[in-house]
Amino acid sequence: MGEKEREKEWEWDKPKDWSAEERFVNRSLKIRRKIFRWLNDHRGAFYYTREDMAADAANFARCAIATAHRWITQYSRPDQPFHIQDTDTGYVIWARADMKPAGVA
């Protein structure tokens, strides 16, 4: 069963008496998971601008570009698992687990 089928099944089975706050929090968590998955799937990918990166992530997560940009920024802070390297020509996504410390062969 694919992701879309699971989402449709979940949407169909969800309780109808959820409050607006519960729906908002659930949607936020779903977006966060999708942005994290997108970052993980695009390790080593190159983007000319951060806006292109956010637009691609937003298309995957089905959210606004500003929301995707915010979560990409959150997940690339120093204490988080990803790093966005600013190069002369654009940006590269790296997982901190894949990065070697300086001086290690």
13: Cα separation from own chain's centroid: 26
Hunting for tokens 């990409």 — which residue is that? 72
Domains of the chain in start order, with CATH, are 26-98 (1.10.10)
For the stretch 12-24, pLDDT in tens is 556 667 777 777 7
Hunting for tokens 């729906």 — which residue is that? 23
The 3-state DSSP class for residue 46 equals: strand
pTM of the prediction? Answer: 0.74
For the stretch 12-60, pLDDT in tens is 556 667 777 777 778 888 999 999 999 999 999 999 999 999 999 999 9
Bridge partners (DSSP) of residue 94 are 83
The 3-state DSSP class for residue 85 equals: strand
User: Do 40 and 95 touch, CB atoms closer than 8 A?
Assistant: yes
